[in-house]
Amino acid sequence: MEIVHLTSYEGVEEQLRDSEIVFTISLRPEQFAMAKELRWIHVPAAAVHQLPIPEVVNSHVVVTNAREVHGPVVAEHVIALVFALAKKIPQAVRLQQRHVWGQALIWNDRSKPCELAGPTLGLIGLGSIGREVAGRASALGMRVIGVREHTEREKRPASRKFSVRTGSTRCWRNLITWSLQLR
């Protein structure tokens, strides 16, 4: 077995000729045509929307992706941003950069810093990321309402403390969201 790691597209066509497995984010039709020995394409992303070219779809090459592996890390990032917005950290940083003591400015603003326990968080989409965000937000005491378009693909929620609604327009109108003012 030989593993080749390319850091640029230079020489990619030559390497594809004898490759049985390709780890990539994209593959053009002409590159796929060169890869006569190819048996497996793995995409290190959740989506493979760039690969359903007719040549790949009509072949016997297996295509896999990294579905659901990004949920926890992206959910942590989402929760970090929710904390930053709830506590008005961006505003505090901007005031600090201007050497302004901003406590009164922040607390006297129309939208005040708030606790995360209690407010409702609306999630549109309950794939791996949405489910992970829901579980973390629920653990912080937030009420979570999640909307998903395809209930037939339903997976068990990360927490029993949030409700799932289908993608009907009636549901979208009734979705309660928690919003923070961005300034």
pLDDT in tens, 123-165: 988 888 999 999 999 999 999 988 877 766 655 554 455 555 5
pLDDT at 181 over 50: no
- Given a contact cutoff of 8 angstroms between Cβ atoms, the answer to whether 149 and 172 are in contact is no
pLDDT at 6 over 90: no
What is the model's pTM? 0.67
pLDDT at 94 over 90: yes
Return the CA Rg of the chain. Answer: 23
Cα separation, 49 vs 36, whole angstroms: 22
| Cα-to-chain-centroid distance, residue 48 | 14
Single-letter amino acid, residue 29: P
Alpha carbon of 124 to those of 19, 54, 103, 130: distances in Å?
40, 31, 34, 8
Q: Where in the chain is the domain with CATH 3.40.50.720?
A: 71-174
- CATH number of the domain at 71-174, please? 3.40.50.720
Q: What's residue 50's pLDDT? A: 78
* Average pLDDT score over the chain: 82
Q: What's residue 152's pLDDT? A: 67
